[in-house]
């Protein structure tokens, strides 16, 4: 599957791999920063209350990622090579918009709850 995408997408595939690597490093750094900031504090999580919510989120994530993977496979199969030009830039723009909305919503909910 990876070789097929690589041949079909060409240079855009390399750009996407670079973008994914950078975004994974940034996400890992955010998780490490969170771990260092909360280390040694008295913040305790009530896991007994959050287990059902975590299971629901986990199942939703599995469903969502499988649907997104199926859409991507279909798009790679049906799209001509010329349609992939600039795809990574468009993907980055959409991801930044979604990230901005998610951060704003999270801050708003956090502000209203606390």
pLDDT given for residue 49 in this prediction: 64
* Chain centroid, CA 81 distance in Å: 25
Closest to 12 measured CA to CA, from 74, 76, 97 = 76
Residues of the chain where predicted confidence (pLDDT) is lower than 50: none
State the pLDDT at residue 81.
Answer: 77
Q: What letter does residue 42 receive in the DSSP assignment?
A: -
State the pLDDT at residue 63.
92
Q: What is the pLDDT of residues 71-80, one digit of tens each?
A: 888 888 888 8
pLDDT digits (tens, 9 = 90+) for 9-29: 888 888 888 998 998 999 999
User: Half-sphere exposure of 66 toward its Cβ, with a 13 Å CA cutoff?
Assistant: 6
Residue 20 to residues 17, 27, 32, 52, 108: CA-CA distances in angstroms?
A: 5, 10, 18, 31, 28
Which DSSP string do the residues of 14-25 spell out, in sequence order? HHHHHHHHHHHH
pLDDT for res 48 = 62
Chain centre distance of CA 19 = 12
pTM of the full predicted structure?
0.60
């Amino acid at each position: 599957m990876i070789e097929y995408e690589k041949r079909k997408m060409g240079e855009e595939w390399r750009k996407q791999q670079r973008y994914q690597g950078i975004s994974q490093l940034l996400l890992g750094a955010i998780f490490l920063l969170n771990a260092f900031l909360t280390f040694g504090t008295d913040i305790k999580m009530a896991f007994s209350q959050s287990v059902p919510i975590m299971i629901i989120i986990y199942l939703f994530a599995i469903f969502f990622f499988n649907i997104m993977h199926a859409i991507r496979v279909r798009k790679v199969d049906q799209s001509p090579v010329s349609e992939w030009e600039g795809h990574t830039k468009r993907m980055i723009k959409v991801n930044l918009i979604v990230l901005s909305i998610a951060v704003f919503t999270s801050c708003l909910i956090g502000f209203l709850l606390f």
